């Protein structure tokens, strides 16, 4: 048996991701960075991304769960994982025995982690999560006085960070400015009782759009992957980081009046040269892209996709491209076929498109600068 190249695959441009991290650093001068790599580094392949970004010495790698934290650790990174959300009781012993960053959002979590820390004879550094408007995790600002009082009785926990999250950084400036002020007041209150090393509120949109003087840490995710969630001066500095390619598996000419794909939603008006491409919704190529004038780039030409997306295959009109043959590669996402555009066509957001790219796609690395065939 000899090796075959995969039929459909993702290539991550690790240089571009590094460049985008530098842009985040410039956009949030003086801030430490929690480089968010959850969800397989937004589809780019967790291990290869963290191995590269580790050289940039971020404060943490932001992850969603223990499994991702373990993968960061197993990749041999010096940078520690940071669990961005709350953790269930059965996960906490593992966390207390690790050197991962984590948050607490309730007295129950604080008490549990404190007793685990006592058992492990350690003092555990924690980040207090505050709910300043997201409604997803964190202590309520009104309870903060009582919480800090309670923390005094938990000497096995050391509050080294305060964090919160912005629900409308990309759409409501009035709310966001008020939220920043509220966060600032909370930080001052916590700072009376704790030596704070990490004060963080902003993800990509927040850091690109707002100056948050009390913060010293930011949590960029999407922008590392070349996409700005808000129009801003930095957007043009970001480089695209992901290419999605799939093989043409068959090329035929179909006569006029021939249906293409399920539902026969597309009927050829005239004879059409059709390439079948080996990728489908099971790979994360969204079924919602059916009939939305999405394209595949084949031999440098934008070829309209025809008919519904099927589980493993899609069809493209290659009538305008001479010589297309099975084994050619079609580019579906790349520097000229942007995730932002696809997200709009599929009626969703770029985060959803990237993180929806499936496990069937191998994650390779490569420069997006070279011209695709």
Ligand X SMILES: *Cc1c(COP(=O)(O)O)cnc(C)c1O
Q: Which positions touch ligand X (CB under 6 A)?
A: 36, 38, 62, 84, 165, 203-205, 219-222, 229, 351
State in angstroms the smallest separation of the CB of 106 from ligand X: 17
- The reply to whether 210 belongs to the active site is no
Closer residue to ligand X in complex, CB, 163/251: 163
Residue 189 CB, nearest approach to ligand X (Å):
21
Q: Give least dist CB 314 to ligand X, A.
A: 28
Q: Closest CB to ligand X among 137 and 317?
A: 137
Return the number of the residue (12 or 203) whose C-beta is nearest ligand X: 203
Residues 120-123: contacts with CB under 8 Å, at least 24 apart? 120/96, 122/96, 122/156, 123/155, 123/156, 123/157, 123/158
Residues whose CB is less than 8 angstroms from the CB of residue 273 and which lie 6 or more positions away in sequence, other chains included: 251, 252, 253, 317, 318, 319, 321, 324
How far apart are CB 54 and ligand X at their closest, in Å? 18
The upper half-sphere exposure of residue 34, i.e. CA atoms within 13 Å in the direction of its Cβ, equals 29
The active-site residue out of 38, 42, 198, 210 is 38
262 is catalytic: yes
From the list 152, 210, 262, 281, the catalytic residue is 262
Closest CB to ligand X: residue number? 221
- Name 32's Cβ contacts closer than 8 Å, sequence gap at least 6: 58, 59, 198, 216, 217, 218
Classify each residue of 123-144 as buried b or exposed e, where b means 16 or more C-beta atoms within 10 Å of its C-beta. ebbbbbbbbbbeeebbbebeeb
Distance of CA 358 to the CA centre of its chain: 14
Residue with smaller CB distance to ligand X, 62 or 280: 62
| Cβ proximity to ligand X, 23 vs 36, nearer residue | 36
In the numeric block, which tokens belong to residue 24? 């985040």
Give least dist CB 19 to ligand X, A.
16
**Residues recorded for the chain:** 373
- Residue 98 corresponds to which tokens in the numbers above? 């690790």
Catalytic sites, residue numbers: 38, 262
């Amino acid at each position: 048996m000899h090796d075959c190249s995969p039929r459909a695959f993702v290539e991550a441009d690790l240089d571009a991701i590094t460049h985008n991290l530098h842009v985040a650093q410039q956009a949030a001068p003086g801030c430490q960075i929690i480089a968010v790599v959850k969800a397989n580094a937004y589809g780019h392949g967790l291990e290869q991304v963290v191995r590269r970004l580790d050289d940039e010495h971020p404060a943490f790698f932001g992850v969603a769960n223990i499994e991702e934290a373990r993968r960061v650790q197993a990749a041999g990174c010096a940078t520690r994982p940071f669990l961005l959300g709350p953790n269930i009781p059965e996960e906490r012993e593992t966390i207390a025995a690790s050197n991962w960053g984590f948050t607490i959002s309730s007295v129950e979590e604080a008490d549990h982690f404190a007793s685990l820390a006592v058992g492990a004879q350690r003092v555990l550094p924690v980040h207090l999560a505050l709910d300043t408007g997201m409604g997803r995790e964190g202590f309520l600002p009104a309870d903060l006085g009582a919480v800090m009082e309670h923390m005094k009785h938990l000497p096995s926990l050391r509050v080294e960070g305060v964090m919160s999250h912005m629900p409308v950084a990309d759409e409501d400036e009035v709310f966001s400015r008020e939220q920043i002020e509220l966060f600032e007041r909370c930080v001052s209150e916590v700072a009376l009782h704790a030596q704070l090393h990490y004060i963080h509120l902003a993800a990509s949109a927040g850091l690109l759009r707002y100056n948050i003087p009390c913060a010293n840490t930011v949590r960029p995710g999407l922008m590392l992957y070349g996409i700005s969630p808000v129009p801003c001066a930095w957007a043009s500095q970001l480089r695209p980081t992901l290419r999605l390619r799939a093989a043409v598996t068959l090329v035929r000419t179909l006569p006029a009046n021939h249906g293409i794909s399920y539902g026969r939603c597309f009927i050829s008006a005239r004879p059409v040269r059709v390439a079948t491409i080996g990728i489908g919704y099971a790979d994360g190529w969204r079924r919602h892209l059916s009939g939305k004038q999405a394209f595949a780039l084949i031999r440098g030409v934008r070829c309209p996709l025809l008919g519904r997306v099927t589980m493993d295959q899609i069809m493209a009109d290659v009538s305008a491209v001479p010589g297309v043959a099975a084994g050619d590669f079609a580019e579906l996402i790349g520097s000229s076929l942007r995730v932002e555009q696809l997200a709009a066509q599929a009626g969703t957001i770029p985060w959803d498109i990237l993180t929806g790219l499936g496990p069937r796609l191998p994650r390779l690395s490569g420069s997006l600068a070279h011209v695709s065939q």
